[in-house]
Structure 1
Amino acid sequence: MKNIYKKFGIGLTLCCVLLTAISCENSSSYEDELPSIANIAVSNDAFSTLEAAAINGGVAGVLSNSNPNDASGDYTVFAPNNSAFARLGLDESTLGVLQTPFLTNTLLYHVSNGNLPSSAIAANGTSASALGGLTRRFVSRDGSLFINGSKIIATDITAENGTVHVIDKVMIATGGNVVESAIALQSASVFKNPELSYLVEAVVYAELADALSNPAAKFTVFAPNDQAFINLGTALGLTFDKPADVRMIDKDLLTAVLLNHVFAETSKDSFTSELNAGSYDALGSDTITLGTYNNGVLTVSGSGNTSPANMVIPDVQTTNGIVHVIDQVLLPQ
């Protein structure tokens, strides 16, 4: 497989809190030297997961020093706190579930070259990541600014080697398309335990891989995790012991179900920060119903679901769309 970062990426990087930055500015040592981005992160317990990720991924030294790739010598970091990692079930003790090469590459997704102050951040604007030139976009919602689906909760924290803005969700990115991103999870290139294995098998069986790899499209996709498919098998009176067991479902039926996980409007991809409650046409014959936006996520249902599905991993950015991993298969009526 090619570079893991081209397949899938969860952005994890270095950060700090506004209170510490202010206290540094007011201290007598301010005139001597500001702390580096890495040092500020280390000094704050609220970012202990980020500190551990930086150490495990071998990038702590990068943001301890001047940026050699920018004339200013600075970085801009959009930094997730411990609560942001906890949304993904990650803390200092569980970071080991991630493959180290994947972690190393994706740590840098939250980093930009040079200084980007909050005064230069505006809705509908974009910002390129320092790694691979991947572009993030800024969104305005309910009076707050977001980068992708992550709310910016503190800004303009000054470090010796750049600026930090704090966010409430870990940004997730990929340098591959929708299908390549799912395959990276299925092949254990991201997590040490495979995920989305049943979905990949279902997409191949339904012959939808080429369509979902279309570089000209901009998909919004709701991707059921493995447990969602296992539960579907149980509901159908089937036992799914391995991904290939999804082939026990009639091919035409499974194809129709999968198409009901994709917004019909394929010219626009949507982060959670851009989604609202309501019904949306799907590529299949059904509609996708979203619940109320709440703390950065929305529930999602098909017409045949008795209860809504939850977003397990929202806002996965791919080269041809946004994927939201969910915990149920969306069923038509």
Structure 2
Amino acid sequence: MKKYYQLSAALALSLFVLGGCAKNEDVDASITNIAVSNPDFQTLEDAALRGDVAVLLGNKNPNDAQGNYTVFAPTNGAFARLGLNTAQDLTALQQPFLRNTLLYHVFSGSLPGSGLTAGTSSPSALGPQRRIIRRADGTMYVNGSKILATDVRAANGLIHPIDKVLLATGADVLNSALALQSAKVFVKPELTFLVEAVIYANLTGALTGSPGSAPLTVFAPTDQAFKDLGVLLGVPLNQPSDIRKLPVATVTKVLLNHVVGGAQGGKFTSELPNGTTVASAGGDPVAFGAFINGVLTVKGAGNGTAVANMVIPDVQCTNGVVHVIDRVLLP
């Protein structure tokens, strides 16, 4: 952990120096060129090429009077948190999803560090808004991603390096899960057991929401999490349809234990109340661990000492935020 923060601090310092020098000389490098020349953005460079946005960010913005973009730029470490370390790893993502993900990091125009104030939101080139959050210790986040530095200048805008990839689906929680289940996000389907369980328990309506409904925080167990649950219960869950071996009342109760609404609905990791317990939609408690390295562990009352880790945190949906976890939360 200490090494991680040392690296983050070193990166932030180097980028502040780069930005500071740029103030006293003409800036010729585009956002794309800076990504190419800085080894801390190697995976971002690879992603921009595969996602077909490298040319876009290498030129002036035709929709801004000054020709500028502002990019929240994930470092190599940010991509590594998702298991994306090389250009080959990026092929695990469908190209349209990767492109949309990159556009979610882009703002049309100049958004300087001085404008990143707590409680404000800004639209992205993809469409969905991103929230600026300040934690009690003064650290700043965009959604659940820590802002490592600000105002790295480029010929066509600004770069703000961040420690996690920003994710948004442009769909509600249910349809976001369906996109994963039908391999529209990863080339390999995911959340297939969860989708089957939601349909079996007749909870599809609860996860689609309605205009004006309160946002949700949803913890979504991976397929492997459900398979592990089957081992624990002594009921083999080898394929999604095996969920129907369990009583529907049991499945419903378990699923509701993964949904949090009210004051804690629609929360990113940077906003969740670490070290506390909150009530789930089913009424049973869900406990959050400490906020470490930008994530929290989660535990249901029936999990004993076993906690769930966030595999893919902070996925913004139109009716809330989803955190993909590696363990089923038992009531």
Same fold (TM over 0.5): yes
Secondary structure, in 3 states, of the residue corresponding to 2:228?
A: helix
2:56 is aligned to 62
- 1:86 pairs with one of 80, 84, 89: 80
Q: Distance in 1 between matches of 2:316 and 2:222?
A: 17
- Whichever residue aligns with residue 185 of structure 1, its letter is L
Matched, 1:186 2:181: yes
Q: Distance in 2 between matches of 1:267 and 1:289?
A: 12
Query: Deviation per CA, 1:268-316, whole angstroms, max 9, x where unpaired?
Result: 3110000122110011131100011111000000011031110101111
Task: Return the offset for 1:156.
Answer: 0.6
Secondary structure, in 3 states, of the residue corresponding to 1:58?
A: coil
- Within 5 Å, give how 1:156-195 maps onto structure 2: 156-195=151-190
RMSD, aligned CA: 1.8
> Are the counterparts in 2 of residues 218 and 266 from structure 1 also a CA contact under 8 Å?
no
Q: TM-score, normalised by structure 2?
A: 0.91
Task: Return the offset for 1:21.
Answer: 7.0
Q: Distance in 1 between matches of 2:192 and 2:296?
A: 24
Deviates more, 1:236-245 or 1:190-199: 236-245
Q: Distance in 1 between matches of 2:21 and 2:245?
A: 67
2:281 is aligned to 283
Secondary structure, in 3 states, of the residue corresponding to 2:249?
A: helix
1:226 is aligned to 223
Q: Distance in 2 between matches of 1:103 and 1:165?
A: 19
Q: Distance in 1 between matches of 2:323 and 2:153?
A: 33
2:31 is aligned to 37
- 1:248 pairs with one of 245, 249, 252: 245
Deviates more, 1:260-269 or 1:136-145: 260-269
Q: Distance in 1 between matches of 2:101 and 2:224?
A: 26
2:5 is aligned to none
- Within 5 Å, give how 1:7-26 maps onto structure 2: 19=14, 22-23=17-18, 26=21
> Are the counterparts in 2 of residues 125 and 138 from structure 1 also a CA contact under 8 Å?
yes
Query: Deviation per CA, 1:94-140, whole angstroms, max 9, x where unpaired?
Result: 111001121122211100011011111110011110122x1000110
Matched, 1:49 2:43: yes
Matched, 1:151 2:149: no
Q: Distance in 1 between matches of 2:159 and 2:199?
A: 42
Q: TM-score, normalised by structure 1?
A: 0.91
1:3 is aligned to none
- Whichever residue aligns with residue 277 of structure 1, its letter is G
- Whichever residue aligns with residue 300 of structure 1, its letter is V
Mark the CA change 1:266 to 1:253 in structure 2 (over 3 Å): closer, same or farther.
Answer: farther
1:315 is aligned to 314
- Whichever residue aligns with residue 291 of structure 2, its letter is Y
1:303 is aligned to 301
Secondary structure, in 3 states, of the residue corresponding to 2:312?
A: strand
1:118 is aligned to 113
Q: Distance in 2 between matches of 1:68 and 1:212?
A: 38
Q: Distance in 2 between matches of 1:24 and 1:245?
A: 55
Q: Distance in 1 between matches of 2:248 and 2:142?
A: 39
Q: Distance in 2 between matches of 1:69 and 1:59?
A: 16
> Are the counterparts in 2 of residues 220 and 266 from structure 1 also a CA contact under 8 Å?
no
- Within 5 Å, give how 1:118-137 maps onto structure 2: 118-132=113-127, 134-137=128-131
Q: Distance in 2 between matches of 1:110 and 1:196?
A: 25
Runs of 4+ in 1 over 3 A off after TM superposition: 20-27, 30-33
Uncovered stretches (5+) of structure 1, i.e. residues with no partner: 1-15
- Whichever residue aligns with residue 112 of structure 2, its letter is P
Q: Distance in 1 between matches of 2:191 and 2:78?
A: 22
Task: Return the offset for 1:186.
Answer: 0.4
Task: Return the offset for 1:26.
Answer: 4.2
> Are the counterparts in 2 of residues 66 and 74 from structure 1 also a CA contact under 8 Å?
yes
